Chain A
Amino acid sequence: MDITEEFRQHFDFKLADGYSEQEIAAKLGDPKTIAEQYGSSPAKGSGGERALTVSLLAVGDLFFGMLCLLLYAFEVVIAATAVTFGALSVCLIGDLGRLEFVTLPQMPYSCAIALGVVSTTLCVLSVVGAIYFSGFLRQLIRSYCRFHKNALSAAAGRGKLPSIPAHPQFSQKKRRALRWTALVFTILFAVSSLVGYGLCAAMAGSAEFWHVWGWFV
């Protein structure tokens, strides 16, 4: 169905409502003006332009894919860090050095608890980091996909969608929780490190307690 069909139906409806053809035509407006308004439809992009866009996008996709791989690898590193610190705190606080298959450096149990707490704060901070980073990655990919789609639409002369911001989009609640957790556990980390170091130094009777306990021999 095209333009004339649409106007033919308009006439049919109006005629059915009891208007005369002259009245309908008068109400329809100046034909020249209407014709001009049809002229403002967006022009389709030329074939060459589209091919250029597509090939540039292909190169862009390749680089973006590699960047994503790299960033995903980093996400894995952060997650592994979190797991490691988590496991370390379990070993330290649970006194698992007693077990045959766990090897922990020598230290009094009170020091192990103090250092376990430090490790726990680092674990929580890594988890927050991993969540934030995965949010960032997800949004980065969404943003790129939207850009990709828009570039293709523009080349084809179609409309564009609004672009997507590249920074992580968390709900207000989640963002507040993440920020709060990060702040609290940074403070806890600072305090527990100082306390842990102080305790170890006091127990060993030396500022370089690791030498006293022979950790690196």
Chain B
Amino acid sequence: MIKLIEGRMLVSAQYKKGVLELCVMALLKKRDCYGYEISEYLSGHIDIADGTVYPILRKLKADGLLSTYLQEESGGPPRKYYSLTGLGRETYERDRREYLVFAKAVDTILKED
């Protein structure tokens, strides 16, 4: 029984991760942000652990969807800003469309219940 629940949690964590990537890109499409900002923004909307965002940012960067640059802030260490690359923008638009179609279909199916 516990195993089953763990399995379900894992699936849920995995599909959440894909959607979270999309959310991160959606935020970065509007403006460049530093890691903490993104973490705060997402945990403000979705119930996730604060630490979830950083691996996602790193993966998106490794995939070439994000780029980073350092920016000096008054009274503090330089912050690492994330910015969407051209590839990221393209990927975001495509994944966004796919997701919206998918979510709509799921919504329809679940509401038929």
CA distance A41 to B48 in the complex (A): 20
The answer to whether A29 and B50 have CB atoms under 8 Å apart is yes
Known pairs A40-B59, A158-B64; A7 contacts B51 (CB<8 A)? yes
Size class of the A contact interface (CB-based, 8 Å): 20 to 34
Stretch at the interface among A30-38, A75-83, A95-103, A105-113: A30-38
In the complex, the chain B residue whose C-beta lies closest to that of A9 is B36
The CA-CA distance from A30 to B10 in the complex, in Å, is 14
The closest CB in chain A to the CB of B36 belongs to: A13
Of residues 74 through 108 on chain B, the ones whose CB sits less than 8 Å from some CB of chain A are 76-77, 79-80, 87, 90-91, 94
Question: Of residues 1 to 55 in A, which have CB atoms within 8 Å of B's CB atoms?
Answer: 1, 3, 5-7, 9-10, 12-14, 24, 27-31, 33-34, 37-38, 40-42
Nearest CB on B from A172, distance (A): 19
Given contacts A29-B50, A37-B17, whether A158 and B63 have CB atoms under 8 Å apart is yes
Encoded as 1 (CB less than 8 Å from any B CB) or 0, chain A from 150 to 179 comes to 000100001101100000000000000000
> Does B46 touch A at the CB level, under 8 Å?
no
CB distance from B43 to the nearest CB of A (A): 8
Q: Which residues of B contact A38 (CB under 8 A)?
A: 55, 58
List of B residues within 8 angstroms of A1 by Cβ: 68, 70, 80
CB pair A27–B65 under 8 Å, yes or no, is no
Q: Which residues of A contact B109 (CB under 8 A)?
A: none
Measured CB to CB, the closest approach of chain B to A15, in angstroms, equals 12
Q: Assuming A159-B65, A162-B94, what are 20 further A-B pairs, CB within 8 angstroms?
A: A1-B70, A1-B80, A3-B54, A3-B58, A6-B35, A9-B36, A10-B36, A10-B51, A10-B54, A12-B76, A14-B50, A28-B49, A33-B51, A37-B17, A37-B59, A41-B59, A41-B62, A42-B62, A42-B63, A158-B62
User: Could you name 17 residue pairs across A and B whose Cβ atoms are closer than 8 Å?
Assistant: A1-B80, A6-B54, A6-B80, A10-B50, A10-B54, A27-B43, A28-B49, A29-B49, A29-B52, A31-B51, A33-B51, A34-B49, A41-B59, A158-B63, A158-B64, A159-B87, A162-B94
The 7 A-B pairs at the shortest CB distance, nearest first, are namely A29-B49, A37-B55, A159-B63, A28-B51, A159-B64, A29-B51, A34-B51
